[in-house]
Amino acid sequence: MFFEKFPYLYYTLDDKNTYQIVPDILRRIKLSEELKNNNAFFDQYDIRDGETPEMLADKFYGSPMLHWVILLANDIIDPRFDWPLDYYNLVEFCKGKYGENSIYQLHHYADEAEYIVAGYRGLDESSTFLLPIPIVLESSGSVQSTLLLQNHPSNLIPVSNFSYEDAVNEKKRRINILKPQVVSEFDSNFTSLIKQ
């Protein structure tokens, strides 16, 4: 249903001997920030484990075929990774990214204001430090690259790889739901814009 709205083009795989007619999937419509931040058109919703875009479209719009409205309203291009993972899939994702034995190893340190002070993102200027602390930035076999931070607060919090990915995953749960009464007009406008 979604790609039926797109214009078609001729495409060849065999050096222009034969052609196929395919939807032009490289076209994209993006909502303006002004529209996305307008509470008159959107409600916020927190995704629960196991809910899919199709389930939410059915719940709010009465049709799972309108899942694309939810994805578009939230700038979700790849629902496999832009949609929140359930606990099991999050663990599997972490195992694939960090290695099975490394998902609970240190990712970075954060201070009480949740600034990332070491690790992949380096040091945030707004953090304050009191005493020197060695922080391993990189470890490769027996060789470690260590940074000695001066004036660190005594309450630095170690954040594991899993805790970091879990926090990133949780931020994906709050989404915008286009209000049902404007979906029909939204669909019409999208269809006319995508064909231009």
pLDDT single digits (tens) 162-184:
998 999 999 999 999 999 998 88
What Rg value do the Cα atoms of the chain yield, rounded? Answer: 23
Question: Is the residue at 20 inside a domain?
Answer: yes
pLDDT single digits (tens) 122-176:
344 444 443 344 444 444 444 444 444 544 555 677 888 999 899 999 999 999 9
Question: Is the residue at 130 inside a domain?
Answer: yes
Check residue 148 and give its pLDDT.
Answer: 47
Q: Could you report how far apart the first and last alpha carbons of the chain are, in Å?
A: 18
Question: Is the residue at 89 inside a domain?
Answer: no
Residue 185 structural domain:
3-84+176-194
Tell me the DSSP string of 121-150.
T---TT---BEEEEEEEEEETTEEEEEEEE
Tell me, yes or no, whether 112 and 57 share the same domain: no
Cβ–Cβ < 8 Å for 12, 145: no
Check residue 186 and give its pLDDT.
Answer: 82
| Global pTM value | 0.68
pLDDT single digits (tens) 8-65:
778 887 877 888 888 776 777 777 777 777 788 889 999 999 999 999 999 999 999 9
Q: Which two tokens stand for residue 82?
A: 């832009």
Question: Is the residue at 117 inside a domain?
Answer: yes
